[in-house]
């Protein structure tokens, strides 16, 4: 099967947010900061600590949110020229390939370690940090189900 792949900036930024939030180290960091904020909130209410410690946790939470939700996706988008090109994505039960005027790439499905779906993309991972996103906008329901079936089986 074959589809044309093109990217819209707003959707790619959303996909990058999903990618970053799903990373185990970022999840752990967010949990630690949230637990710290809750604990300092309780201790502040009980008048066991000064307000500065609670303020520190709140500022840290806001900074992390800004970094992971806005800054990192934009940096990733700007550094990845791939999102400015249109690609032809071809796949069957054995392999997948991308072709454009700028280059091409191909892989066997057995190289894929895992995948997940976000609202507009299939996120296909080859390692924890190496991945590719395939937009679902140009896919018919039949193509989307075929790709989902291949990814589930592999």
Per-residue pLDDT of the chain in tens (154 residues, 90 and over written 9):
888 989 999 999 999 999 998 899 999 998 998 899 899 999 999 999 999 988 988 898 899 889 989 999 999 999 988 888 889 999 998 999 999 888 888 999 989 999 999 999 999 999 888 898 999 988 889 999 999 999 988 7
Q: What is the CA radius of gyration of the chain?
A: 20
Residues near 57 by beta carbon (within 8 Å), at least 6 away in sequence: 33, 36, 37, 40, 41
Q: How far is CA 14 from CA 29, 30, 53, 81, 108, in A?
A: 20, 18, 32, 17, 27
Beta bridge partners of residue 108, listed in sequence order: 95
> Coil, strand, or helix at residue 101?
coil
Q: What pTM did the predictor assign?
A: 0.81
- Alpha carbon 75 to its chain centroid, in Å, reads 13
How many Cα atoms are found within 13 Å in the side-chain-facing hemisphere of 6?
4
């Amino acid at each position: 099967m074959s589809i044309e792949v093109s990217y819209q900036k707003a959707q790619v930024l959303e996909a990058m947010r999903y990618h970053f939030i799903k990373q185990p180290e970022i999840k752990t960091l967010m949990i630690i900061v949230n637990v710290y904020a809750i604990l300092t909130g309780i201790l502040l209410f009980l008048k066991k600590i000064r307000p500065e410690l609670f303020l520190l946790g709140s500022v840290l939470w806001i900074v992390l949110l800004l970094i992971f939700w806005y800054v990192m996706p934009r940096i990733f988008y700007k550094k990845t020229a791939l999102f400015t090109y249109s690609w032809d994505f071809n796949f069957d039960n054995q392999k997948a390939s991308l072709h454009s005027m700028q280059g091409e790439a191909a892989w066997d499905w057995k190289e894929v370690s895992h995948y997940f779906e976000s609202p507009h993309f299939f996120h296909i991972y080859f390692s924890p940090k190496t991945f590719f996103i395939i937009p679902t906008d140009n896919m018919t329901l039949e193509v989307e189900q075929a790709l989902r079936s291949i990814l589930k089986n592999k």
